[in-house]
Amino acid sequence: MNKPLKQHLIDPEICIRCYTCEMTCPLEAIVHDDNNVVVDVDKCNFCMDCIPVCPTGSIDEWRVVNTAYSLDEQFGWEDLPAQEEIADSPGGVEALDDAMAALLAEAHKGAGGRSKAPATAAKPTINMYNLGKPATAKVQGSYRLTKEESGADVRHIILDLGGQPFPVLEGQSIGITPPGTDAEGKPYLPRLYSVSSPRDGERPHYNNLSLTVKREEGGVCSNYVCDLKQGDEVQVTGPFGATFLMPDDPSARLLMICTGTGSAPFRAFTMRRQRAAQGANGDMIMFFGARTPDSLPYFGPLNKVPEHLLKKHLVFSRLPDAPKEYVQDRMMTEPEAIADLLADPKTHIYICGLRGMEQGVEESFKSIAESTGLQWESTRDMMRDEGRYHVETY
Ligand code: FAD
């Protein structure tokens, strides 16, 4: 019997035949005829470059098969064949790792195309643990970061990996699989959470890491994670993510814009600089939006980070006696500082948090860039191609 294999396919019912994937594929694995756009199984190496550029999501289809679908079979399709039954297939597990990669690609879509890691970023380890071989972490602590009156329940959760190697870099995520099954009786899929501690651990030189998790009403995994108690064991996968990373260059300038739990990777970036790059001369500026100080994760500790290390703009949209202010509004009050950053090839921009923040932030960048004679889209695309513009929204 043939060994089951995982095959990348395109859904012909959803594909709009824009051929962007075909133009993006570095291996010429994607081809088309008059009917369909298809993937050559012999050439595709799962680089995932085609995933973020697809405007419809039709590119993001995977099947575990005993015998690969040929190009001719795919050219003849009107719709995708169902997943065939594969006995004891490890491919299902691999396909789930691709699902994680696709989730990340979706989260990075806001960068406007292919994301690249900063040139001086350390090389990340990815996919070390998967659903078939997860790591087991023990909860060392879970602390509520937001006040009860604020209505938001965001928690700082510390996971101890014990003797299992789990190398993470700032900006990477891990997968957590909630126990149990969904309404159809299928095991729940893992969810991604950004690591909020630096590479040398929440506690320096301990094999632990932290997460910043918001309890979502009705959410399966966030409630599971937020309810975990000290000593509980949790199955984790990953690490995931190879582009939303910080530069190791201590003179790199970091502009970080976030809402809510989008602050998680920036906590890690800041701690990394505090611990490892003392004397770093690249400045760090943060625009961080929340409803109120009580609902802003890490409000107290953040305020203790010296301004010379991290210039903080904490922006609130629901203060009782003040007009609503969002991160993009505060950016508009700092046009000179932002224009200076945009013009500097040492600058790296990171945007993380709610997807809804992207548009307003882009509009502020555009307005500030154009007031200084810079064309925003070409500046952004150049920065992205140089690994200096990163978006992770969900
Ligand atoms: P799900 O069960 O998947 O539900 C999704 C939404 O549907 C929820 O908002 C829930 O309110 C709603 N819903 C579900 N069932 C019902 C129902 N019966 N009635 C009403 N509404 C319902 N999250 C963080 O908190 N911190 C992070 O650092 C973080 N990092 C991320 C990084 C990446 C790259 C990505 C892609 C996502 C990240 N997320 C993060 C989001 C996280 O992965 C989950 O999506 C989030 O925790 C919600 O998952 P859930 O299982 O709780 O919700």
- Asked if residue 114 is part of any domain, the answer here is no
Atom of ligand 1 nearest to the CA of 104: 34
- Assess whether pLDDT exceeds 80 at residue 93: no
> What pLDDT shows up at residue 113?
63
Contact 239, 174 (CB under 8 A): yes
Average pLDDT, the chain: 91
- Assess whether pLDDT exceeds 90 at residue 64: no
Q: Which of 108, 123, 151 is the last residue of a domain?
A: 108
Q: Domain range spanning residue 277?
A: 253-393
Q: How far is CA 164 from the centre of its chain?
A: 23
Among candidates 294, 303, 362, which has minimal Cα distance to 327?
Answer: 362
263 and 375 share a domain? yes
228 and 262 share a domain? no
264 and 306 share a domain? yes
Atom of ligand 1 nearest to the CA of 240: 34
* Mean pLDDT of the region 168-186: 94
274 and 388 share a domain? yes
Q: Three-state DSSP class for 52? A: helix
* DSSP per position, 144-212: E-S-GGGS--EEEEEEE-TTS-----TT-EEEEPPSSB-TTSPBPPPEEEEB-S-TTTTTTTSSEEEEE
Output the pTM of the full model: 0.79
Q: Which of 240, 271, 297 is the last residue of a domain?
A: 240
Number of neighbouring beta carbons within 10 Å of residue 182: 11
More confident residue, 393 or 104: 393
Question: Whose Cα sits closest to atom 53 in ligand 1?
Answer: 219
Report the C-alpha gap between 9 and 12 in whole angstroms.
Answer: 9
Atom of ligand 1 nearest to the CA of 224: 52
> What pLDDT shows up at residue 235?
95
- Asked if residue 278 is part of any domain, the answer here is yes
C-alpha distances out from residue 154 to 67, 68, 119, Å: 46, 45, 33
- Asked if residue 340 is part of any domain, the answer here is yes
72 and 158 share a domain? no
Q: Could you tell which of 142, 154, 193 is best to mutate to test the pocket of ligand 1, judged by most ligand atoms within 8 Å of the CB?
A: 193
- Asked if residue 121 is part of any domain, the answer here is no
* Mean pLDDT of the region 56-83: 87
What is the per-residue pLDDT across 35-45, written as a single tens digit (0 to 9) for each? Answer: 999 999 999 98
Q: Three-state DSSP class for 138? A: strand
Q: Could you tell which of 216, 237, 244, 352 is best to mutate to test the pocket of ligand 1, judged by most ligand atoms within 8 Å of the CB?
A: 216
More confident residue, 113 or 106: 106
- Asked if residue 268 is part of any domain, the answer here is yes
C-alpha distances out from residue 232 to 36, 91, 138, 142, 238, Å: 49, 29, 6, 11, 19
- Asked if residue 115 is part of any domain, the answer here is no
Weakest mean pLDDT among 17-26, 170-179, 213-222, 329-338: 17-26
> What pLDDT shows up at residue 90?
38
Half-sphere exposure of 187 (CA within 13 A, CB side): 12
C-alpha distances out from residue 60 to 39, 159, 286, Å: 11, 31, 34
Report the DSSP beta bridge partners of residue 213: 155
222 and 284 share a domain? no
Contact 194, 350 (CB under 8 A): no
Residue whose structure tokens are 């992770």? 392
More confident residue, 82 or 158: 158
Taking each helix axis as running N to C, give the angle between helix 376-385 and helix 357-371, from 0 to 180 degrees, rounded to the nearest 10: 110
Q: Which of 108, 126, 147 is the last residue of a domain?
A: 108
Q: Three-state DSSP class for 51? A: helix
What is the per-residue pLDDT across 134-145, written as a single tens digit (0 to 9) for each? Answer: 999 999 999 999
> What pLDDT shows up at residue 146?
94
C-alpha distances out from residue 100 to 126, 165, 209, Å: 11, 20, 20
Task: Using pLDDT thresholds of 50, 70 and 90, give the confidence band for residue 61.
Answer: confident
Residues with CB under 6 A from ligand 1: 103-104, 107, 173, 191-194, 212-214, 216-222, 261, 264, 392, 394
Residue 103 alpha carbon to ligand 1 centre in Å = 12
Report the C-alpha gap between 256 and 195 in whole angstroms.
Answer: 16
Q: How far is CA 120 from the centre of its chain?
A: 19
CATH of the domain at 316: 3.40.50.80
CATH of the domain at 207: 2.40.30.10
- Asked if residue 248 is part of any domain, the answer here is no
322 and 195 share a domain? no
- Asked if residue 247 is part of any domain, the answer here is no
What is the per-residue pLDDT across 216-246, written as a single tens digit (0 to 9) for each? Answer: 999 999 999 999 999 999 999 999 999 999 9
Count of helices and strands (H, E) across the chain: 11, 15
Report the C-alpha gap between 39 and 361 in whole angstroms.
Answer: 36
233 and 288 share a domain? no
How close are the terminal C-alpha atoms of the chain, in Å? 41
> How many domains is the chain built from?
3
* DSSP per position, 335-392: HHHHHHHHT-TTEEEEEEE-TTHHHHHHHHHHHHHHHTT--HHHHHHHHHHTT-EEEE
